[in-house]
Amino acid sequence: MHTHIMPEHMPRFSEQFGYEGFIHLEHHLPGRARMMQGTKFFREIEANCWDPVAREVDYAAHHTQMQVVCTIPVLFAYFAQPKHTLEVARFLNDHLAQLVHDHPRTYIGLGTLPMQDTELSIRELQRCKEIGLVGVQIGSNINDKNLSEPEFFPIFQAMQDLGMALFVHPWNMMGQQHMSKYWLPWLVGMPAETSRAICSMIFGGVLERLPGLRVNFAHAGGSFLPTIGRIEHGFHCRPDLVAIDNPVNPRDYLGKFWVDCITHDPLMLRYILDLAGEDKVTLGSDYPFPLGDLEIGAFIEEMGLPDETKEKIYFRNTMEWLNLVNLPIHSG
Ligand SMILES: [Zn+2]
């Protein structure tokens, strides 16, 4: 339920809109492309980033039939003028809708929104639903603003009202300008970002006020679950700082949101299953990126979990999160 895809060809949005920052692809070799942010190299990618059939072959090797796909966070384009971000989002969402339409048995799509503009986001969210996407992915912060900011609440409310699932993914990592060495933004910043997002949605009262919002957090919730004891203790010892917008203990929200299983660590996954509940842990992979679980669940197979628990992680919980419980399950 956590994989990334992008269109094979991106318009030159920077040229179209007259300023830098947008991603385009340079296909410099067969099956390989450079993701470029203007003239700046961002990442080298392969065909499994855009080719639906190449992905299916990779997946089949790990006994996986269906992928929930969303864009790559660097494509969010929240930095841009809202009307331009909307145009990028519409392009990406139309691509996802076409993919889902062409491959209904192998792909489920999550859209992207111009989150820096409340009204445009709600409009695009409605359109996402109309074109066959079952939810959206957003960043852990929006141009450094936390998800507790009042301007985002109507978007979350619309997600609840429209029955659209939400996936929160870390990006634009805090402190990255101070830790460019050792891949620290990815290893340290990302787990912190996800905890930042969960804490913001809890302490800001988003989860309290929208109990029907179905939200899933990437990378097993980042550092949130491993540090829940500290977070709860902070809530008790300094309510004047922590409980100013929501008087409910953060621990009470365990079991009310989903997380993926991307931990690379059986011991940690057991802990996540205990804390979040075995109904709330979903099979993510972060495919096709190297920091993901590219053997898709192999470490889970070795954990000796009961078949019923594995079934929940492998698909049942994802179907619940996406409200697709009535979707026929194809065997084989
Ligand atoms: Zn990811």
The per-residue pLDDT string of the chain (332 residues; one tens digit each, 9 = 90 and over) reads 999 999 999 999 999 999 999 999 999 999 999 999 988 999 999 999 999 999 999 999 998 999 999 999 999 999 999 999 999 999 999 999 999 999 999 999 999 999 999 999 999 999 999 999 999 999 999 999 999 999 999 999 999 999 999 999 999 999 999 999 999 999 999 999 999 999 999 999 999 999 999 999 999 999 999 999 999 999 999 999 999 999 999 999 999 999 999 999 999 999 999 999 999 999 999 999 999 998 989 999 999 999 999 999 999 999 999 999 875 555 44
What is the CA angle 215-138-83, rounded to 5?
Answer: 140
Looking at residue 53, its pLDDT comes to 96
CA of 238 relative to ligand 1 center, distance in Å: 34
326 located within any domain: no
- Ligand 1 centre and the CA of 4: distance in Å? 6
User: For residue 331, is it within any domain?
Assistant: no
170 CA → ligand 1 middle, Å: 8
Separation of CA 243 and ligand 1 centre (Å): 31
**Would you say the C-alpha torsion 302, 229, 188, 280 has a positive or negative sign?**
positive
Assess if residue 329 is contained within a domain.
Answer: no
- The answer to whether residue 175 sits within a structural domain is yes
In a domain, 262, yes or no: yes
Domain that holds residue 292: 3-321
Phi/psi at 135 (5° precision): 180, -170
- 239 CA → ligand 1 middle, Å: 33
CA of 51 to the centre of ligand 1 (A): 17
Residue 330 domain flag? no
Ligand 1 centroid to Cα of residue 90, in Å, is 20
Per-residue model confidence (pLDDT) at position 192 = 98
- What pLDDT does residue 332 have? 40
C-alpha of residue 169 to centroid of ligand 1, in Å? 6
Give the distance (Å) from ligand 1 centre to CA of residue 177.
21
Q: For residue 212, tell me if it sits in a domain.
A: yes
Instruction: Tell how far the Cα of 7 is from the centroid of ligand 1, in angstroms.
Output: 16
CB burial of residue 237 (10 Å; 0-12, 13-18, 19+): exposed
Joined tokens for residue 232: 């709860």
**What total number of domains does the chain contain?**
1
pTM: 0.96
pLDDT tens digit sequence for 189-202:
999 999 999 999 99
Amino acid at 243: A
Q: Find the CATH number of the domain harbouring 213.
A: 3.20.20.140
Note whether residue 65 is domain-resident: yes
